[in-house]
Amino acid sequence: MVVGQVKEVNEMSGEVMPEQASSALAEISRRQEQVIDAMLMPAWYWWSVAAACVAIGAAVDSNDTVVRVVVFPVAIGLIVVLTVAMIFGRYRRARVRSNELLGGPGALAIVGTVWLVVGATIGTGYGLRAAGTPIPATLATIVGGGILLAAGPVLRRILRHVMLRNLSGAGR
């Protein structure tokens, strides 16, 4: 790879030209960014989770036991399977120590986003229920899903920034 090419140049001439070293470092940086980008959740993940949440809300409002018995495990299973696949599949494929890359700020961003979405959804649901809205859970999960769709890409940008900063050593 690039480092190997610099090493070959070094062995042949005894020196590495500054532009060769600079080019090699730029390539390493580009590849590190690719690994970090591969670890982050894609847009379709947020849409899938938001849709599953709205399905749960609609099932709650249906007051139909059969609908709930079918929708709850399917929607929750979808969220769990996608999340586990994203976390373990991407981190294993990237072969990085995500704890070191995320650190406290990354973990705080993730937990804060979850609290925002859950808090807004539950708060909206209770508020709509108290106001006598006919389908409060459906509407609340639509609000929560909308927040998730807006917050997901923001979280992605924050995590990318944190990971790149930690990778460079600036966050330590």
> Each residue of 77-102: pLDDT tens digit?
999 999 888 777 655 555 555 566 77
Q: Which residues 6+ apart lie within 8 Å of 99 measured at CB?
A: none
Confidence of residue 19 (pLDDT cuts 50, 70, 90): confident
Instruction: Quote the CA–CA distance of 156 and 80 in Å, as a whole number.
Output: 19
* Dihedral sign (CA 14, 19, 21, 23): negative
Q: Which helix (H) or strand (E) holds 53?
A: helix 43-62
Greatest C-alpha distance within the chain? 81
Q: Give the position of tokens 């929708």.
A: 71
Dihedrals phi, psi of 163, to nearest 5 degrees:
-65, -40
The packing angle between helices 18-39 and 2-13, to 10°, is 160
- What's the confidence (pLDDT) of residue 52? 96
Instruction: Quote the CA–CA distance of 147 and 51 in Å, as a whole number.
Output: 12
Ranges of H-type helices in the chain: 2-13, 18-39, 43-62, 65-84, 90-94, 98-130, 136-168
Q: What value does the mean pLDDT of the chain take?
A: 83
For a pLDDT cut of 90, what percent of the chain falls above it?
47
In single-letter form, the type of residue at position 9 comes to V
